[in-house]
Structure 1
Amino acid sequence: MPSVKRAIRIAGSSGGFSDRQRAIGDLAKNCDVDCIIGDWLSECTMTLHGAQKQENEKLRKAGQLTDEPVGLFDPTFMDNLSPALPYLKSKNIKVAVNAGASDTELLATTVEKEVKRQGLDLKVGWVSGDEVTETVKRLQANGEAFPSLMNGKPLSEWGHEIIAAQCYLGGAGVAEALRQGCDIVICGRVADAATTIGAAMWWHGWDRETDLDQIAGSLVTGHLIECSAYVCGGYYSGFKRLMDKCENIGFPIAEVDADGSCVITKEAGTGGEVSVGTVSSQLLYEIQGPLYYGSDVTANLVGIVMREIGKDRVQVTGVKGLPAPSTTKVGLTAWGGYQAEFHYHIVGLDLEEKAEWTERQVRYSIGDAIKDLTCLKFSLNGYSQENPRNQEVATVDLRVFVQTKKKALVDKFTLDVPGFNRWCMENFLQSCPGASLDNDQRQSEGKEFFEYYVTLLPQSEVKHRVELPWMGKSIDIPVQNNVTTYPRDQKSYECAHPVDLTSYGPTTRGPLGWVVGGRSGDKASDANVGFYVRHEDEYDWLRSLLTIDKVHQLLEGSDKGRKIERFEIPGIRAVHFLIRDHLDRGFNSTSEYDTLGKNVCEYLRAKYVDIPNKFLRRGRF
């Protein structure tokens, strides 16, 4: 542990497997940082890696798996890490990442081999305990209900067989690995913010039993930087003024102080910005309510305050810590079946009637096989403008989406090609005027998909452990004593003292997003969306306008009539909504375009409301 208790500088190098590969190398080479963290996982990737692990086991038992297992962690991770290794050594920079996915030991071994190949002396450790498939099956057999975090229904009603289960670990294992001398810590499914928590706990010597405010601050810091460029202008409502250098938005750096407060900044000389707006946006991403849960601590977000203290420097304070929950989130993967989709392009006038014409014909072609489809959905996506300026903007997508448990159905209906695509295509010569077929038929070939189920597992059932191969030992990470039980649903409330909206004077009818920024995301099938304003006098208007009923109204044709929860964050002038079970099962199996809940905010910002003219005079987002 460093002798000087200055702030630790932690750089965020990845928000997922699709992030830019330059990150670790550039951050290590060009930036003054103490630790580089990164998130390579998501509910999508965990499902795919978990399913591949089971498939590898089948191949191994059949004697067909002769090479090193593949598909168990992100195959591009080493391309990101390898160029950075010499700089990590020369500058004494630590690395803590969750890239291990479904075989953390295998990735740690791979990293160790690369370190030795480069002739470097770097100690590689890894964190185990997130794999809990047999634990979940045992507890369910003993009567544990495992209710869904999305809808509250018990696991027995899910209707699918578990093939993989991984729980979310906290940062205590990362902290212990660093205390033991690790230079690189490889984790599997630790929580997105856990690597930041672990690095800050190690650096400042915090105690999980007593230093709750400090650890809660690092939990929020980890949330802010775990999606890399999001906090620096990616997905930002004010993106239009960040076009300069948008090709290379910087990766974030967080300076975490001994009291848990932090300053968010970014790589020098890169695009984007760090402002109260960009940091507020990322705070609102994928939260569920006023309490943000982690295995190490619970952070109360209501008192959070942000202020700009310099160019690309935002200070975050006011986070309060509460005991961690006695449970941790666990994601279950099951095989779902096969899915396919077919696309028509239709143009111009009478789009709804043209879509109905096509749907009736396709349904007739499917015939009795329709009873074997678990999902059949027709979606008309887009619209033709009045007096369209070109043919492309007058063209919309009619998507036919199917799911089934078996690839071959009755009456020779199949998700092979030809098959489902033939049932759609055969109607072409009797189709509506202006219809055309998509010229790429690959999506109409049936492919496997997986279901994902999120529930809670007692932390006491988790065997959290740090593995230190160079020392030949393992260290158990026990659950702290100060955990507590929280209800499934968080506090939801309307504005306590709404103002009369007519008191703001003359208004103009226009998109909410002219003056309101926001961000949305997913947690399995739940979607969250948070809105904020830039000026203090706009906040009473925002929180008076955006009631639960108003959000139902704004959702309009996309409203599923399910529960919506609401709370406020005054320190960033924000109102947050959790839209329960909105995403049709979530990324892995959803039939919708908004697979990750990232689009619902921009849809709502496009909806028309009455905006006070005095707000508009300040300029639009």
Structure 2
Amino acid sequence: MRIGNCSGFYGDRHSAMREMLTGGELDYLTGDYLAELTMLILARDRAKSPDRGYAKTFLTQLEECLGIALDRGVRIVANAGGLNPAGLADAVRALAQQLGLAVNVAHVEGDDLLPRAGELGFGNVLAANAYLGAWGIVDCLGSGADVVVTGRVTDASVIVGPAAAHFGWDRGDYDRLAGAVAAGHVIECGAQATGGNYAFFTEIPDLTHPGFPLAEINSDGSSVITKHPGTGGQVSVDTVTAQLLYEVSGARYANPDVTLRMDSITLSDDGPDRVRIDGVRGEPPPPTLKVSLNSIGGFRNSMTFVLTGLDIEAKAELVRTQLESALTVKPAELEWTLARTDHENADTEETASALLHCVVRDPDPANVGRQFSSAAVELALASYPGFTTTAPPGDGQVYGVFTAGYVDATEVPHVAVHADGTRTDIPPATETKELEPVAPFALPEPLPFGETQRVPLGRIAGARSGDKGGSANVGVWARSVDQWRWLAHTLTTDKLRELLPETADLTIHRYLLPNLRAVNFVIEGILGEGVAYQARFDPQAKGLGEWLRGRHIDIPEGLLE
């Protein structure tokens, strides 16, 4: 069976749904619209009106594509319901009636734990959503649904559900389910599997408009990742490896229905733009479900000062002292960051300039509003030579905080709601297994060092990074056995701290994935309290891997040939 993906986030390419439906054969079309930040956005949307809280672009895509899907017999599964899957299901039915189409629409609910947040110990939050699994989707499809919309299910569940329904898998078919999780994890981020955000992007043909990926899933859980013929981008062992390393941790990747053993995955070339995933093993899921908790953290404001030419450090110290002295009420948090973007003897003013960022946060908007930004601007004629800022004074803006909670799976309702209004309760897993660390893998035989050159790590290694709440992961992989032998011994946590000084005082976990020739790092706390908190200029850590690849390190000359 062939499952295509048409969305990796809320705001992804609008035309992808039509492209996937018209570009080739599919049995199912899925879409992932949710992320930690998206849940906060939808929660604020719902707070304005209880009728909101879902991804509205899904409806506009369906307006031009629902008839095509029905004509081609393609069933659609998407988590675009966000915080209001029932509302989105009703909106899809209204749209179908408007278009004169007969559509069976079902939805999955139960993930919204906000009414019980206090009882469950989550405190005063704006949204609390448990990550549900695939069996509600299976029930909806088994009852004849053409369109299934969900709330906060795991990203891979929108792929696992159709696979399990199509092949009639049981809840104990862990290897098959884990295979579908692996395929789902590869395609759920859309064009990231076909060359988007790929370390060696210059090798990708026609990246102007990459096609979206699809998975050909077999009854045993193995799969082939590919894309429609004639579309841009590329599917290769490396593009699939990069996506497998995205936002994961160690050898065990927990989902509500199965724990995927990442160390069991085997990738092989299956022809042009075709990569086979097999050998996947699964274990019973953990007894708890992860809960996405979003709350309002307070108010924030910022000011960026441009420092040009000579004496950059002294200029930064002067304006810092002046501004902090001028603030009559000190904000709860005040952070300074000096970005040395300046170059000596620069031939343009921009390249001669550094950027000094000041960020303030406080529960009281008055403490980070005009009293802060006006105080900064009032220094314009009384501070360092060449004083200028990148924006005028402004009021503070609300910011969100993400935290992860956990709850026993038996405490979370999981309900399939069918087109006729009947409701099916989906029981939690009866067999569970606590997550435990995998015994450390034996390192490969060291590579004889020989002569080296000091060059960027990215000359031989790929990387992909992303956010995990307040933490970030950086997956690094090698493309040959010898490069892997060198990488596994060289890129230690101490070496990572040396290459990325921002991580020097943070807790770092290192995981080896030999089948993928990869080392994965999880860096705790580098993103503060989540993407909306904006602890650093790259708040989702999307560029962290590329920073690492750009750092210079001694590499054996034989590996550079």
Does residue 226 (structure 1) correspond to residue 184 (structure 2)? The answer is no
Question: Which residue of the other structure, out of 496, 504, 517, is the alignment partner of 2:443?
Answer: 496
CA contact (8 A) 2:526 2:535 kept: no
C-alpha distance in structure 2 between counterparts of 1:248 and 1:497, whole Å: 39
C-alpha distance in structure 2 between counterparts of 1:259 and 1:11, whole Å: 19
C-alpha distance in structure 2 between counterparts of 1:202 and 1:21, whole Å: 28
CA contact (8 A) 1:171 1:190 kept: yes
CA contact (8 A) 1:36 1:94 kept: yes
CA contact (8 A) 1:304 1:569 kept: no
Of 477-486 and 46-55, the range deviating more from structure 2: 46-55
Instruction: Report the Cα offset of residue 491 of structure 1.
Output: 4.3
Aligned to 1:532: 477
CA contact (8 A) 1:276 1:306 kept: yes
Q: Superposed, which structure 2 residues align to 1:565-580 within 5 Å?
A: 565-580=509-524
Q: Superposed, which structure 2 residues align to 1:544-555 within 5 Å?
A: 544-555=489-500
Of 47-56 and 447-456, the range deviating more from structure 2: 47-56
What are the Cα deviations for residues 559-617 of structure 1, in whole angstroms up to 9, with x where unaligned?
25222111211122111111112211111213311211212111111111101112222
Q: Secondary structure at the match of 1:424?
A: helix
Q: Secondary structure at the match of 1:138?
A: coil
Aligned to 2:271: 310
Instruction: Report the Cα offset of residue 268 of structure 1.
Output: 2.5
Instruction: Report the Cα offset of residue 434 of structure 1.
Output: 3.3
Aligned to 2:286: 325
Does residue 277 (structure 1) correspond to residue 222 (structure 2)? The answer is no
Instruction: Report the Cα offset of residue 361 of structure 1.
Output: 1.5
C-alpha distance in structure 2 between counterparts of 1:288 and 1:570, whole Å: 14
Does residue 26 (structure 1) correspond to residue 19 (structure 2)? The answer is yes
C-alpha distance in structure 2 between counterparts of 1:348 and 1:76, whole Å: 47
CA contact (8 A) 1:453 1:524 kept: yes
Aligned to 1:434: 386
Question: Which residue of the other structure, out of 28, 34, 40, is the alignment partner of 1:41?
Answer: 34
C-alpha distance in structure 1 between counterparts of 2:193 and 2:312, whole Å: 39
Q: Superposed, which structure 2 residues align to 1:111-510 within 5 Å?
A: 111-140=92-121, 161-209=124-172, 211-242=173-204, 245-367=206-328, 369-370=329-330, 373-409=331-367, 415-416=369-370, 419-438=371-390, 440-441=391-392, 444-469=394-419, 471-487=420-436, 490-491=437-438, 493=440, 496=443, 499=446, 503-510=448-455
What are the Cα deviations for residues 352-404 of structure 1, in whole angstroms up to 9, with x where unaligned?
3322222112111114x11xx22211112242234434332223322111111
CA contact (8 A) 2:474 2:521 kept: yes
Q: Which amino acid aligns with 2:360?
A: V
CA contact (8 A) 2:117 2:124 kept: no
C-alpha distance in structure 1 between counterparts of 2:298 and 2:190, whole Å: 34
> What are the ranges of 5 or more consecutive residues in structure 1 without an aligned counterpart?
1-7, 58-68, 141-154
Q: Which amino acid aligns with 2:184?
A: G
Could you state the TM-score of these two structures normalised by the residue count of structure 2? Answer: 0.96
Of 43-52 and 190-199, the range deviating more from structure 2: 43-52
CA contact (8 A) 2:381 2:387 kept: no
CA contact (8 A) 1:285 1:519 kept: yes
C-alpha distance in structure 2 between counterparts of 1:199 and 1:185, whole Å: 10
C-alpha distance in structure 2 between counterparts of 1:497 and 1:33, whole Å: 41
Aligned to 1:542: 487
Q: Which amino acid aligns with 2:355?
A: D
Q: Secondary structure at the match of 2:117?
A: helix
C-alpha distance in structure 2 between counterparts of 1:549 and 1:492, whole Å: 21
Instruction: Report the Cα offset of residue 492 of structure 1.
Output: 7.6
Aligned to 2:560: 616
Instruction: Report the Cα offset of residue 494 of structure 1.
Output: 7.7
What are the Cα deviations for residues 526-560 of structure 1, in whole angstroms up to 9, with x where unaligned?
1111101111111110000011221122222x025
C-alpha distance in structure 2 between counterparts of 1:407 and 1:55, whole Å: 20
Q: Which amino acid aligns with 1:446?
A: G
C-alpha distance in structure 1 between counterparts of 2:223 and 2:240, whole Å: 12
Q: Secondary structure at the match of 1:522?
A: strand
C-alpha distance in structure 2 between counterparts of 1:120 and 1:44, whole Å: 34
C-alpha distance in structure 1 between counterparts of 2:285 and 2:101, whole Å: 39
Q: Describe the shift of the 1:560–1:103 C-alpha distance in structure 2 as closer, same or farther (beyond 3 A).
A: farther
C-alpha distance in structure 2 between counterparts of 1:180 and 1:576, whole Å: 41
CA contact (8 A) 1:495 1:544 kept: no
Q: Secondary structure at the match of 1:161?
A: coil
Aligned to 1:145: none
Instruction: Report the Cα offset of residue 495 of structure 1.
Output: 5.8
C-alpha distance in structure 2 between counterparts of 1:31 and 1:375, whole Å: 53
Q: Which amino acid aligns with 2:342?
A: S
Question: Which residue of the other structure, out of 70, 92, 103, is the alignment partner of 2:73?
Answer: 92
Instruction: Report the Cα offset of residue 498 of structure 1.
Output: 6.0
Q: Secondary structure at the match of 2:538?
A: coil
Q: Secondary structure at the match of 2:433?
A: coil
Q: Which amino acid aligns with 1:297?
A: V
C-alpha distance in structure 1 between counterparts of 2:518 and 2:86, whole Å: 42
Q: Which amino acid aligns with 1:383?
A: T
C-alpha distance in structure 2 between counterparts of 1:100 and 1:200, whole Å: 21
Q: Secondary structure at the match of 2:208?
A: helix
Q: Which amino acid aligns with 1:398?
A: L
CA contact (8 A) 2:118 2:124 kept: no
CA contact (8 A) 1:401 1:591 kept: no
Percent of residue pairs bearing the same amino acid type: 34
Does residue 81 (structure 1) correspond to residue 62 (structure 2)? The answer is yes
Question: Which residue of the other structure, out of 549, 552, 557, is the alignment partner of 1:605?
Answer: 549
Q: Which amino acid aligns with 1:596?
A: Q
Q: Secondary structure at the match of 1:385?
A: coil
Aligned to 2:531: 587
Aligned to 1:13: 6
Q: Which amino acid aligns with 1:466?
A: A
CA contact (8 A) 1:349 1:384 kept: no
Q: CA RMSD in A?
A: 1.8
Q: Which amino acid aligns with 2:10?
A: F
